[in-house]
Amino acid sequence: MEYSFLSRLKQGVIICDGAMGTYLNQKGISYERSFDELNLSKPELINQIHREYIEAGAEIIETNTFGANSVRLSGYGLEDKVREINIKAARIAREARDIIGKDIYIAGSIGPLGKQLEPYGKILKAAAKDIFREQVESLLEGGVDLFMVETIANLEEMELIVGIIKKTCDLPIVAQMTFTAEGMTLLGNRPEDVASHLVPLGVDVIGANCSVGPQMMLEVIQILCEFGTTYVSAQPNAGLPRLYNGRFVYFSSPDYLAEYARKFVEAGATIIGGCCGTTPDHIAAISKALKDIKPMPEKIGGYAARDRMNIIAVKDEKKIPTISPFLEKLTHDFVVSVELDPPKGSNPEKLIKVAGELKEIGADAVNIADSPLARVKMSCLALAYLIKRYVDIDIILHFTTRDRNLMGLQADLLGAHAMGVKDILALTGDPPSLGDYPQATAVYDVDSIGLVNVIQKLNSGSDFFGNAIGKPTNFSIGVAFNPTAPDYRLELSRLQQKAAAGGQYVFTQPLFDIDIIKQSVDDIAKYNLPVVLGILPLMSFKHAEFLHNEVPGITIPNKLLERMKNAGEKSASIGQEIALELIEKSKGYINGLYLMPSFGKFEVAMNIIKYINH
């Protein structure tokens, strides 16, 4: 599959972030500490730095894992924390992206072992492979979008790391060597040697970082660009450091680095960032300097806001349809919807853009979740309104009874209707004990069955207690069904009650077994409800294992788990294959698909939609 990062590379210059370690030192963290361990002890600080870089204009942020391998961590007695530190680092970066709400990429940072490989040192290559494999698998499990292998001085070590990544997954790879002031690696490799070794390995970007400032790095970049490297990255230090009052200080100003950023681009580089000594100020200056030559984001999602929402002001009541367009299509055609989780912060830009892209390739709708797993996110109703404003796509609003009493439920439903959000998936909602605020009080005046009754009352022109509301609403009412629930009979009984209360269509939990799909569709048939099948593409064996063992309501057959385990570096592609096979086998049984991409990898859902359309 082609990842969105590779598509973005083809569009032009991408700005990467700057230093982590030296910037942490500026913020008072001693060089004697493990910077990687701060993912566990000071996650808020790491998150803040990521956000500073994103706000400065970075489209790529690197996880705080440069030294998070067992060799380097052993110096701090942390060699048993490799998996925990790397997974946490990836999640911190993803959370920072979520909070800012911009469409940026998370690069899993992998640095050298810190000790020489044989024959120069004592570490055997077989042992080194195991060490790097542990870090790669952990970053992959954490949900990175690509790998950034950096500050490598030994070509054999780079080849080894790239080989491990390619055997583990098919994510994009940026391979950055470090060069001295003489324009060679510490082991004497010239840029042309590096290009001739790395191009055949199939890495996506070859570049240079660290060791020298921008002036000395420019010649290296020029040579890499001349030797047939498709995409080149440049991440110099902010000059050479000096020890000042017990702290290393870098003297290259943001403007100076920005001047050279333009020269890197003129030479042919595509990814521009910074290494030691650079800060968000340097990245902001680079972003400003390159704003006229790098792709600038269009209006949100490529769509101009509609000046007037005809879904709100309809003067002629006779023009209001009695059935929603989504339900109309669902009853006569095959539909595809993709789940969007609201951001943790207040910026919806990325999700509006994604909704626009989904619309363009043929998605019929998007599902907007209501603080899934009881984690604090932007209001699903607010996000629904914003997407509706910029993108002409149907929205299925997940609506839970967890956070609203009967008055709040009805008030928000009436508000949603006024804003044109009229397709509701009625849910009870995950309990607060699962999320960020386990001590928070859940409301649950009614459950999902009661919520269907509430919505049906509004559709009849009254509130829950029979008080007139004027003109009736015309919500479509979706209900959830989990065929793998521990008590299937109880689940089927609840579905019967939902249908009797006014449920009009069914969205299933993600399913992976065609026999279960067929049986559940047969059982649902008696209620005459269209079925939208939940499909969750697996990204790796670790992902599959986690879903199967730790997420309530998801069961993955052993044969599929074994298949993912044996997939190796093709695990994401195999996960997509499994999804497509299920879709093919489900033809004739279901009325639509509900795609749930993990880790914000919407390109997977887009690939599936393109397959369906063709």
SS (H, E, C) 268-289: CCCEECCCCCCCHHHHHHHHHH
**pLDDT range class, residue 606, cuts 50, 70, 90:** very high
Q: What is the pLDDT of residue 155?
A: 94
- What's the whole-number mean pLDDT along residues 560-572? 92
Low-confidence winner among 413-417, 423-427, 464-468, 473-477 (lowest mean pLDDT):
464-468
What whole-number distance in Å separates Cα of residue 272 and Cα of residue 82? 29
**pLDDT range class, residue 243, cuts 50, 70, 90:** low
Q: Is 70 exceeded by the pLDDT of residue 327?
A: yes
Chain position carrying tokens 């009736």: 472
**pLDDT range class, residue 247, cuts 50, 70, 90:** low
**pLDDT range class, residue 245, cuts 50, 70, 90:** low
50 in Cβ contact with 91 (< 8 Å): no
pLDDT tens per residue across span 341-371: 999 899 999 999 999 999 999 999 999 999 8
More confident residue, 108 or 243: 108
Q: Is 80 exceeded by the pLDDT of residue 379?
A: yes
Within 93-236, strands assigned E span 105-110, 146-152, 173-177, 205-209, 232-235
Per DSSP, the chain holds a count of helices (H) and strands (E) of 23, 18
Q: Is 90 exceeded by the pLDDT of residue 277?
A: yes
Phi, psi values for residue 152, rounded to 5°: -95, 130
pLDDT tens per residue across span 172-220: 999 999 999 889 998 889 999 999 999 999 999 999 999 899 999 999 9
Q: What is the set of domains in the chain, with CATH numbers?
A: 9-289 (3.20.20.330), 322-613 (3.20.20.220)
361 in Cβ contact with 388 (< 8 Å): no
Q: Is 90 exceeded by the pLDDT of residue 595?
A: yes
Among residues 461, 481, 483, 479, the alpha carbon closest in space to that of 471 is found at: 461
> For 294, which DSSP code?
S
Q: Could you tell me the sign of the dihedral formed by the alpha carbons of 355, 361, 367, 373, in that order?
A: negative
121 in Cβ contact with 187 (< 8 Å): no
Q: What is the pLDDT of residue 310?
A: 33
% of the chain exceeding 90 in pLDDT = 78
Among residues 14, 599, 11, 571, the alpha carbon closest in space to that of 290 is found at: 14
Locate 327 and state its tokens. Answer: 């339900």
Locate 301 and state its tokens. Answer: 């999602």
**Virtual CA dihedral for 534, 535, 539, 544, nearest 10 degrees?**
60
pLDDT tens per residue across span 442-480: 899 999 999 999 999 999 999 998 988 888 999 999 999
Among residues 232, 153, 166, 169, the alpha carbon closest in space to that of 201 is found at: 166
46 in Cβ contact with 3 (< 8 Å): no
Within 301-450, strands assigned E span 335-340, 365-368, 394-400, 423-427
Rg (CA), the chain: 26
Q: Is 50 exceeded by the pLDDT of residue 313?
A: no
What whole-number distance in Å separates Cα of residue 264 and Cα of residue 267? 5
Which neighbouring-strand residues pair with 408?
Answer: none
